[in-house]
Amino acid sequence: MVQELNLLSLTAALKDLQLGGIRYYPTIGSTNDLAINWAGDNAPDMSLVIADEQSSGRGRNGRKWYSPAGESLAFSLILRLENNETRSIGLFSALGALAVVQAIFEIDAGLDPKIKWPNDILINNKKVCGILTEAAWSGDRIESLVIGIGVNVFQGSIPSVDTLNYPATCLEDLTSSKINRLDLLHKILITITEWRKRIDTSSFIDAWLERLAFRGEKVSIWSENSQSKDGIILGLASDGSLCLQDSNGQNFTCYFGEVHFKPICL
């Protein structure tokens, strides 16, 4: 189900939002790559890079995915950080995740999207959205952040099974509600704007915790350069790190960028 996506339709759909600018591409390698370049050229806050087709989308740890034309929602948002926001740098991936979760819930309240720490969105334990946050630097200072979001909207967006490292699904397979990519984008962006104002508050962590996947369940945590470690997910610390308990009853913490995990079948 191909929906028209172009600069004219985007401008009309997002006219009530205070965006710094919109750059639309029918096809592109990676929206994050172009957004980082634009950020380096002093792109205004809340500047949007969006593509109908993305041939070399990037995920965590260099993973790549293909977003076919008309099938997914693939965009990157540039945030120019205020001094007080740099203290909450580790929470901005969750900012995007919370916005996607809330947007999906508004489309169909019967769905139960969860955030697989730190930033994937799952429905029925299948991935429906990935988020990659990258920093644009000015010397030794983070000047802006780029939040890249890719949502599997229609069936053609689901990668082939042999390319998946985690089971995937799409919104079209999960709801009978009519899905409009422009409406979904609008909901995500307006929610990012609203939660951004509260990113350093306990209500932000509480909202994230409410949607945290596998809470109370035993999982296996591992990083690229160390052995895996098992634990039960307890919750989140105020900085967004993941709190767990091992088999000896000892609590331990995992931080952004260090780990991946999958549920252990008990």
Mean pLDDT, residues 123-146: 89
Q: What is the pLDDT of residue 39?
A: 94
Q: Look up the pTM and report it.
A: 0.92
The first and second tokens of residue 109, run together, are: 């309240």
Q: Which of 128, 131, 133, 200 is nearest to 158 (CA)?
A: 128
Is 154's pLDDT higher than 50?
Answer: yes
Q: Can you tell me the mean pLDDT for 31-45? A: 95
As a whole number, mean pLDDT of residues 4-31 equals: 95
**E strands of the chain, at which residues?**
21-28, 47-58, 64-67, 72-80, 114-116, 120-123, 126-138, 141-152, 218-222, 229-236, 242-245, 251-254, 260-263
Instruction: Name which residue leads in pLDDT, 14 or 158.
Output: 14
User: What does the pLDDT average to over 35-54?
Assistant: 95
Tens-place pLDDT, residues 160-207: 766 667 789 999 999 988 999 999 999 999 999 999 999 999 999 999
**How does DSSP classify residue 212?**
B
Instruction: Check pLDDT > 60 for residue 60.
Output: no
pLDDT in the model for residue 2? 47
Instruction: Read off the pLDDT band of 1 (50, 70, 90).
Output: very low
Task: Read off the pLDDT of residues 79-134 as tens digits, 9 standing for 90 and up.
Answer: 999 888 888 888 999 999 999 999 999 999 999 999 999 889 999 999 999 999 99
Note the pLDDT tens digit of each residue in 201-246. 999 999 999 999 999 999 988 776 667 888 999 999 999 999 999 9
Buried b (16+ CB within 10 A) or exposed e, 114-153: bbbbbbbbbbeebbbbbbbbbebeeeeeeebbbbbbbbbb
Which of 74, 77, 84, 103 is CA-nearest to residue 20? 77
In the chain, the percentage of residues whose pLDDT exceeds 90 is 70
Find the range with the poorest average confidence among 133-142, 149-158, 167-176, 257-266: 257-266
* pLDDT given at position 119: 85
Q: Which residue has the higher pLDDT, 55 or 8?
A: 8
Domains of the chain (ranges plus CATH)?
A: 7-210 (3.30.930.10), 218-263 (2.30.30.100)
Averaged confidence pLDDT in the chain: 89
- In angstroms, the CA 11 to CA 149 distance is 19
